[in-house]
Amino acid sequence: MKYNIEINTDGKKYRLALIHSIVIEKSVELLADTATIVLPEAVLNKVLNFESKIKRGSSIKIELGYSSPLKTEFIGYVEQITNAGSSLEIKCEDELFVFRKQIADKVFKTTTVKDIANYLISQVNSNYKVICDYDLGYEKFVIHQATAYDVLKKLREELRCNIYFKSETNELHIHAPYKDKGGSVKYSMQKNIESSSLEYKKAIDKKFEITVESIDKKGKVQSIKSGTTGGDSITIKVGAMNAGDLKRIADAELSRRSFDGYEGSFDAWLIPYVEPTYSAQITDNDYPDKKGTYYVTAVKTEFSDAGGKRTINLGIKLANG
């Protein structure tokens, strides 16, 4: 088990030589990826002093693995450093940290998600690019006393879309749910799944009625429904949008909840590498008919002296094989 943690503060690079644990959390259902590094507060009764070397806004890169070359698991910024009992915690956030910047108020009339994102980029860093394939339209969208992060969070909550930043290409990505595909991995109940809380459920037993509500520019409420009347009721409230886009949101939410297949999570090791948007094939020699490929929605990676572990959450079923 090896790690490499590099921190850049005011142009000076530092490397952490001693850690207690690392936890990295990534999810398509959360706006930003996070990492928490726990350090001992003292070594050989000597208090560690990081104030001059690590501070809020310092850039950080975390690499993990069993042997060289190590895999880059996280790139971002230090959000805060806190004392937790007899240890120090360095809490980090990915590239979306730079979007925690106050932006100018603006009222959009008949705009799109892509236009809103491009406005945020113009306020944060004009060198960034927007990659958006989920160009839903708003009849009206208001930004008032908000950070760029606040606006992205609102878009994520209303549209259920995938929003993330690719630091290597300076790209802000906005994609329809489950349409953005990463790599692929294979897991077997008998080989590389350490423990599992997965449950296999039938779509016929999962009945939902999804309602998406919107208030138009005239103050009139319109709603679109998708699913089964009498099923578990779920309501999503969004800004002023047309009926077609409301239907797209409702149908996407219904497909996220209704399918034959596994629900839940399982624990595996650091290898194979996996992250949200990956396709994970799950096989079980005892139940070959339950073989399927699923969309990975969240991955929690834990690293310490006890070993390396990933907890993988599954979303919709992509294929039977």
250 three-class SS: helix
- Of 70, 95, 120, at which residue does a domain stop? 95
Which range of residues forms the domain containing residue 124?
100-175
Tens-place pLDDT, residues 251-300: 888 888 878 889 999 999 999 999 999 999 999 999 998 999 999 999 99
pLDDT tens for 83-104 read 876 788 999 999 999 999 999 9
Confidence grade of residue 202 (pLDDT, cut at 50, 70, 90):
confident
Tell me: do 17 and 73 sit in the same domain. Answer: yes
Would you give the end-to-end CA distance of the chain in angstroms? Answer: 33
Q: What percent of the chain has pLDDT over 70?
A: 96
Q: What are the tens digits of pLDDT across the range 235-245?
A: 999 888 888 88
Long-range own/partner contacts, residues 72-79 (CB < 8 A, 24 or more apart): 73/24, 73/35, 73/301, 74/24, 74/33, 74/35, 75/167, 76/33, 76/35, 78/7, 78/54
Choose one of 52, 74, 95: the last residue of a domain. 95
- pLDDT surpasses 50 at 44: no
Question: Is residue 165 domain-shared with residue 143, that is, in the same domain?
Answer: yes
Boundary of a domain, candidates 258, 280, 298: 258
What is residue 50's predicted lDDT score, i.e. its pLDDT? 66
CATH of the domain at 126: 3.55.50.10
Q: How many domains in the chain?
A: 4
Write the CATH number for 296.
2.30.300.10
Please tell me the pTM assigned to this model.
Answer: 0.87
Is residue 274 domain-shared with residue 148, that is, in the same domain?
Answer: no
- Degrees, nearest 5: CA angle 113-114-120: 95
10 & 76 share domain: yes
Mean model confidence pLDDT for the chain: 90
